[in-house]
């Protein structure tokens, strides 16, 4: 009998890719999503890729009563991967209370239900934003947690602390927080990918929409940072590589291989890439020039950060294998496909 995994936010960008990898690995997947930044049709796309359509429950995790009713009906869930959250750094600066209410309350409700229903494990979608602007690069899991530069980053830090404290309080829960860096790209089928509503907050969808002609030009937020070309530096990670790490983390919990009841891993490539280098990678991979202009720095942005993923490489047996150009090519194929469908 297949083990059942709940994926919250499973019709979203990373959640949908992880649902695909879970199904391909032999798991039964159930999704909860409020469709705040995604569409119900993503479940059909997952089916097109895997041959299996995951069950989708549409409601908000902040509604404790609906969540409790869900668990009363869906027995036998053995693990949870928790993606559901508001996630845009810039928006969080403008709407901090919305981010705190949504991201914290949804997690608290989930943990309370887990304990009531005896669900043993949770993998949490965390972020490198918990490190703030690190004092030392690349960043290891032992790096000090810095004051967050955005409310979004602060919610990830607080959520990690809530999970850690819940695990320490007992109840036979094991947890893994995956601190990932900057996911980009799309599934090679071009059936799922990143599709933000409105103006993109993340770099790569802004690049692809500009290349397609939906945006006049790309805005580069600052070229006066203390970096080789003056633009921010990030660790860009292919979303399929990232999704595979979640499957490995779930396996680790369910097979009892965790070294501690609460573990943390960085997920990245270990390579720092500037915004301007990322634009050149897209142009190189796809043979397209992207029009851009440099504007003022964006509040909440970190200057430079990239991962030391050696702990995940060693303990999880996971490693990012796709190149930056590979990710940029897949992002462009997805952009073209989705625009073809919406014509």
- Report the catalytic residues: 152
Measuring CA to CA, how many Å separate 129 from each of 26, 186, 215, 229, 262?
32, 22, 28, 22, 19
Q: Which residue has the tokens 């990932």?
A: 180
Which of 316, 257, 194, 247 lies closest to 7 in space, CA to CA? Answer: 247
In the numeric block, which tokens belong to residue 207? 């690049």
Q: Which residue has the tokens 């500037």?
A: 274
Measuring CA to CA, how many Å separate 282 from each of 234, 289, 329, 332?
15, 8, 7, 8
From CA 204, how far away is CA 277, in angstroms rounded? 12
With a CB cutoff of 8 Å and minimum separation 6, the contacts of 134 are 143, 146, 305
From CA 42, how far away is CA 340, in angstroms rounded? 16
Which of 322, 98, 327, 313 lies closest to 207 in space, CA to CA? Answer: 327
């Amino acid at each position: 009998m297949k083990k059942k995994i709940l994926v919250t936010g499973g019709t979203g960008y990373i959640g949908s890719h992880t649902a695909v990898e879970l199904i391909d690995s032999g798991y039964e997947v159930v999704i909860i999503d409020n469709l705040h930044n995604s569409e119900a049709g993503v479940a059909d796309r997952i089916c097109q890729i895997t041959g299996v359509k995951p069950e989708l429950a549409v409601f908000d995790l902040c509604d404790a009563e609906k969540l409790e009713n869900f668990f009363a009906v869906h027995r036998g869930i053995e693990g949870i991967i928790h993606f559901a959250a508001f996630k845009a750094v810039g928006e969080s600066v403008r709407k901090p209370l919305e981010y705190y209410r949504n991201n914290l309350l949804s997690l608290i409700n989930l943990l309370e239900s887990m304990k009531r229903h005896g669900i043993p494990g949770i993998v949490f979608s965390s972020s490198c934003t918990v490190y703030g602007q690190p004092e030392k690069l690349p960043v290891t899991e032992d790096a000090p947690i810095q004051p967050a530069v955005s409310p979004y980053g602060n919610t990830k830090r607080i959520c990690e602390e809530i999970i850690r404290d819940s695990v320490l309080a007992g109840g036979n829960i094991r947890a893994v927080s995956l601190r990932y860096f900057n996911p980009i790209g799309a599934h090679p089928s071009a059936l799922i990918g990143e599709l933000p509503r409105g103006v993109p907050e993340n770099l790569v969808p802004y690049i692809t929409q500009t290349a397609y002609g939906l945006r006049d030009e790309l805005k580069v937020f600052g070229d006066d940072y203390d970096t080789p070309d003056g633009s921010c530096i990030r660790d860009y990670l292919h979303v399929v590589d990232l999704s595979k790490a979640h499957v490995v983390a779930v396996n680790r919990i369910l097979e009892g291989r965790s070294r501690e009841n609460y573990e943390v891993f960085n997920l990245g490539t270990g390579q720092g890439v500037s915004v301007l280098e990322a634009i050149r990678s897209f142009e190189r991979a796809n043979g397209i020039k992207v029009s851009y202009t440099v504007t003022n720095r964006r509040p909440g942005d970190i200057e430079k950060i990239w991962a030391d993923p050696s702990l995940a490489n060693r303990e999880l047996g996971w490693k990012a294998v796709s190149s930056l150009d590979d990710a940029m090519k897949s992002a462009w194929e997805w952009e073209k496909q989705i625009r073809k469908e919406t014509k």
